[in-house]
Amino acid sequence: MKNTETERKFLVDRKKWLTMSKPSCIPYIQGYLSIDEDKVVRIRVAGEKGFLTIKGKSETFSHPEFEYVIPADEAGELIQLYAISRIEKVRTRIQIGKHVWEVDEFHGDNEGLLMAEIELEDPEELFDKPVWLGAEVTGDKRYYNAYLSIHPYKTWQ
């Protein structure tokens, strides 16, 4: 399938992350219109851009994903009117080797969670691991953003 995303997720060592210089981050607000076992429908405002995303059921590292750019003001309005849950975070994109890592620092009810993800062409593809990379959480549904929007990190035992 052409619209397949293959990604791996990791926790980030906060102490190491905070000591390094990095590019500026972009604020994100994500509202979820539908969350079920087979699909997630999300509206996102990322800085000055808006997106509508539909993600299919994950199969290990990969899942179908369709993403469309929409006006940011309309994305914000859709979140306000129709989101059943939401998350807030800032994202830093940082190049390590030939890949771009996206590091998310969560706010609100998910404050304290710091995660990184990398998109790959193939699940077996090799990649450089930055010094701030922690444990891999790929496939652990608790770390999916949609799950975090309903079961915030602050409520975990």
Select from 30, 64, 66 the least CA-distant residue to 50: 30
Set 28, 32, 143, 147: catalytic member: 32
Task: Give yes or no: 68 in active site.
Answer: no
> With contact defined as beta carbons under 8 Å apart, do 40 and 146 qualify?
yes
What is d(CA 49, CA 26) in angstroms, rounded to the nearest whole number? 10
Q: CB-based contacts of 36: which residues, under 8 Å, 6+ apart?
A: none
C-alpha angle with apex 69: 66 to 74, nearest 5 degrees?
120
By annotation, the residues acting in catalysis are: 32
